[in-house]
Amino acid sequence: MKKRLRKKLRRAEFQELGCEVQFRLDPVLGDTQINAFVDVFLQEAIEAQRLGLGGGGRHEWEGFVAVSGRGSVTEANRAAIEQWLGGRSEVLSHEVGPLRDAWYDD
């Protein structure tokens, strides 16, 4: 495959990585508290690192983190998200998956 096509298809040296994230919030939280938590999570853990999150939930959240634009999530980004979630009392459990191809499910 030619370099230009590999770049267009985000293959080989142009592969982009992301990770899955899951967390479970305390069931006593109401809608207002959940919305406030999610806003802070997106601002501090996701957007502050120039990342984006696709997914959703209410008390149980599931999504995929990728770079906003071109690029890859790094191990440092992944660790920062895991640390942020681990430091919040509203989060009963969380898991941040390993880095994997953001475009192709192998």
pLDDT digits (tens, 9 = 90+) for 55-87: 999 999 999 999 988 999 999 999 999 999 999
Phi, psi dihedrals of residue 23, rounded to the nearest 5°? -155, 155
* Residue 25 three-state SS: strand
pLDDT band at residue 46 under the 50/70/90 scheme: very high
Residues 82, 52 contacting (CB under 8 angstroms): no
* Residue 22 three-state SS: strand
pLDDT for position 106: 65
**This prediction's pTM:** 0.89
User: What proportion of the chain, given as a percentage, has pLDDT over 70?
Assistant: 99
pLDDT for position 27: 96
pLDDT for position 23: 97
